[in-house]
Amino acid sequence: MRFTNGYWMTRPEFDMSYATQVYQVKNDDRTLEVLAATRAVNGNKGITLNMPTLTVRLSSPMEGVICVDITHFKGARMPGPRFDINRASLAADIKDQPDAWVFTSGDLQAVVKKEGWQVDFISRGELLTSSQYHGMAHAFNKETGKAYMVDSLMLDVGEWVYGLGEYFTPYLKNGQTVDIWNADGGTASEQAYKTVPFYMTNRGYGVLVDDTADVSFEVASEKVERVQFSVPGENLRYYIIAGPRPKQVMARYTALTGRPALPPAWSFGLWLSTSFTTDYDEGTVTHFIDGMLERDIPLSVFHFDCHWMRGLHWTDFVWDPATFPDPEGMLKRYHDKGVKICVWINPYIAQAGDLFDEGMEKGYFIKKTDGGVWQSDLWQAGMAIVDFTNPAACQWYAGHLERLLAMGVDTFKTDFGERIPVKDVVYHDGSDPLRMHNWYSFLYNQVVFDTIKKVRGEGQAIVFARSATAGGQRFPAHWGGDCSATYVSMAETLRGGLSLAHCGFAFWSHDISGFEQTAPAHIYKRWTAFGMLSSHSRLHGSSSYRVPWLFDEESVQVLRHFTKLKCRLMPYLFQGAVEAHEQGVPLLRPMMMEFPEDLTAQMLDRQYMLGQNLLVAPVFKESGEVEYYLPKGAWTRFHDGQMVRGGSWHKEKHGFMSLPLMARPGSVIPLGSVDTRPDYDYLDHVGLHVFALEDGREASVTIPALDGSPAAAFTFRRAGDTLNIATTSEKPYEVFLHNMPGVTINQ
């Protein structure tokens, strides 16, 4: 939201009251409270009349994180919901110095200057950012009577801003206006399914605005030297999160908002869908499952999209008897083939469905202010929306999920959750509809995820979610929504995934070959490589099936190759998943997260790191031509073992069976002995591939068990032409050396 007209003037509809001077300070061992005058008082008590003030309260929930809480009217109603985050208040080091008050938490300081108005945030002696002149403010719209709280933080020369959710707009957010408002807008618009009021920059810090409302960000746009953020109401709370490295920022951010659960290993395999508007029955599904098995393409999960239920009945959790007369028997037959089952759901209850009357009578739906049920014909005729602030409604909804789980369903695709009304509606717990709009996605996915965990047990829960906000990363996995069958859309999808990774979402997928339209075979094959080298991999579309033999025979070969490669990579990928679960670092991560000092890596949006040691550059051209950048060092092509020197751009041409998949210098990448499924004993006959380990250097790798615990560890130390190995493994393994000529192994 913009409050100014250029640099000098305020928009005529706004009265702005800016923090101008420190007037009074209070402190204890945990908080520093500053009363900020909005005029320069300078000892003239008469100026304090008719003058708004801002109360600025500094606290710390954990080391290296400072909470800034700004209030105009303390007595104003502060409606919920709020994010479910750690709001502890730790003891802090607070000092009254001659020219400033200094609040210190770990390696992060907030320095409040005593003259004028300026709050500097400093880490390890380096200025990260600051709130300065005409930054912190209360804004009042004289035309609408609405109030807003505002602050803006300075940007340095060459500072880039990342994150704010799964936005498909340019990866670098500088110059953009971003409104945190979940919407069903596809991947080709400025809207986003997953919006998160958190950003990080390449200067080693992050900022979380603690408000579930439609936080508005002006990212080097209204004021090109600042990131401005504003919220409706009389209070603004945000957190400065220090690094200094991006992965450290991410670790602290996810400690604040929640770490991702560890998905079950089987979920990392290939998912195949019926697609959306296609007609299908048990025969169709069986044909596809058997077709994959006959073609030696490992299939882990089969997904039934909307039409497993009757038309106009979504969502009532009842199998359509005309097409699925024996659902329990059918699901058992699929389980016997080694395939898990996912079914599509959403939180919208159609009027014609079996559950509508009960939900209406018992008050399980969002209501209108006149006491009736809020309804719409947009999507399903007469549909209502489940009110997840009502514990009884949550139990009711979960009960139907438990019935399906008992029948043999393993997981759910939690679609939608963005089209949540805000006008003239009432929630069971009195939540503010504006602040519930984004937060609804959290409650919805939490109910489904927790129900699966309750029935299936710890470590077996996963959803396939589209909508989310801050904290939603706790309930993996998420997918990128409705993309088109083009290379342009494939690239915008990756941009969305990279931006979401900056917000703590560790497990992310997308519709291979695009959701809308049907891709030509060359796009299907290129997108297959990208999709199978993502954390989760799904073939799904709109009006046509996505089995490979409907494209061409080579598509079968490509899908087989990359699916089997992913199965063999599972010791590496699953350990990356464990790292995400324990430390909050995403599995598919932006280049700048691994190489923050590399100026080129800071700007890359067409390649990524899959875990710590594999670089992936999808091919976005029919010709197979691809340009990618390698940071410094001796990288190794994974598919042919050739060394490629980093520190520069490279241009190559690839067939459909390869793409730039590069092993990081000095890394160890374990390859499993099984290529037919993703869940197996990763330690048994594991192959340990050591890449360009330099003399005097050490590299290590941990092989996980299926519950995420360490099964064994290996450490490699190079001393001249000898590679020494230390391990806790008692099982057979094999070591392969790449780009280490003349080196022999000492086990």
Structure confidence by residue, pLDDT tens digits, 666-707: 999 999 999 999 999 999 999 999 999 999 999 999 999 999
> How do strand 722-727 and strand 744-746 relate by DSSP bridges?
parallel
Q: Which two tokens stand for residue 510?
A: 């997308």
Cα(640)–Cα(310) distance, rounded to whole angstroms? 50
The confidence score (pLDDT) of residue 154 equals: 98
> How do strand 270-273 and strand 537-539 relate by DSSP bridges?
parallel
3-class DSSP state of 429: coil
Which spans in 502-542 are helix H? 521-532
Residue-wise pLDDT tens digits, 297-332? 999 999 999 999 999 999 999 999 999 999 999 999
Cis before 244 (ω within 30):
yes
The confidence score (pLDDT) of residue 42 equals: 87
Statement: residue 467 has pLDDT above 90: yes
User: What CATH architecture does domain 4-257 belong to?
Assistant: Sandwich (2.60)
Q: At what angle do helices 570-583 and 553-568 cross, to 10 degrees?
A: 60
Residue-wise pLDDT tens digits, 103-136? 999 999 999 999 989 999 999 999 999 999 999 9
User: What CATH architecture does domain 610-747 belong to?
Assistant: Sandwich (2.60)
3-class DSSP state of 153: strand
Cα(198)–Cα(502) distance, rounded to whole angstroms? 8
* Range 86-99 average pLDDT: 95
The confidence score (pLDDT) of residue 243 equals: 97
CA dihedral over 69, 70, 75, 81, signed as positive or negative: negative
Q: Which of 478, 349, 482, 346 is nearest to 414 (CA)?
A: 346
Cα(196)–Cα(161) distance, rounded to whole angstroms? 14
Residue-wise pLDDT tens digits, 199-238? 999 999 999 999 999 999 999 999 999 999 999 999 999 9
Strand locations in 7-124, DSSP E?
A: 9-10, 14-18, 21-27, 32-37, 53-62, 65-71, 93-96, 100-105, 108-113, 119-123
Mean pLDDT of the chain: 97
Q: Which two tokens stand for residue 665?
A: 């210098």
Distances (CA, A) of 370 to 79, 363, 488, 693: 20, 14, 47, 70
The confidence score (pLDDT) of residue 78 equals: 87
The confidence score (pLDDT) of residue 196 equals: 98
pLDDT bucket at 45, cuts 50 / 70 / 90: confident
Cα(704)–Cα(346) distance, rounded to whole angstroms? 34
> How do strand 108-113 and strand 270-273 relate by DSSP bridges?
unpaired
3-class DSSP state of 442: helix
Catalytic-labelled residue, pool 482, 511, 516, 598:
482
**This model's pTM is above 0.85:** yes
Residue-wise pLDDT tens digits, 386-434? 999 999 999 999 999 999 999 999 999 999 999 999 999 999 999 999 9
Concerning whether 694 is annotated as a catalytic residue, the answer is no
Give percent helix, percent strand, percent coil of the chain, each to the nearest 5.
20, 30, 45
Q: Which residues pair with 637 in a beta bridge?
A: 662
Residue-wise pLDDT tens digits, 46-58? 999 999 999 999 9
> H or E segment at 400?
helix 391-407
Q: Tell me if 4-257 shares its fold with 265-568.
A: no
> H or E segment at 578?
helix 570-583
pLDDT bucket at 742, cuts 50 / 70 / 90: very high
Concerning whether 415 is annotated as a catalytic residue, the answer is yes
Q: Which two tokens stand for residue 543?
A: 């009006």
Cβ partners under 8 Å of residue 507, min gap 6: 260, 263, 476, 477, 478, 535, 536, 577, 580, 586, 587
Contact 182, 437 (CB under 8 A): yes
Q: Which residue has the tokens 């995400």?
A: 580
Statement: residue 712 has pLDDT above 90: yes
CATH T-level topology, domain 265-568: TIM Barrel (3.20.20)
Catalytic-labelled residue, pool 166, 415, 579, 598:
415
The 3-class SS string of 286-318 reads HHHHHHHHHCCCCCCEEEECHHHECCCCCCCCC
The confidence score (pLDDT) of residue 375 equals: 98
Q: Which of 186, 177, 264 is nearest to 224 (CA)?
A: 177
Q: Which residue has the tokens 């909005």?
A: 38
Chain-centre distance of CA 353, in angstroms? 33
First to last CA, the chain: 63
pLDDT bucket at 185, cuts 50 / 70 / 90: very high
CA dihedral over 198, 201, 207, 209, signed as positive or negative: negative
Catalytic-labelled residue, pool 120, 211, 214, 418:
418
Q: Which two tokens stand for residue 196?
A: 């998160």
Concerning whether 698 is annotated as a catalytic residue, the answer is no
Q: Which of 388, 381, 515 is nearest to 451 (CA)?
A: 388
Q: Break the chain into its structural domains and give their ranges.
A: 4-257, 265-568, 610-747
Residue-wise pLDDT tens digits, 608-634? 999 999 999 999 999 999 999 999 999
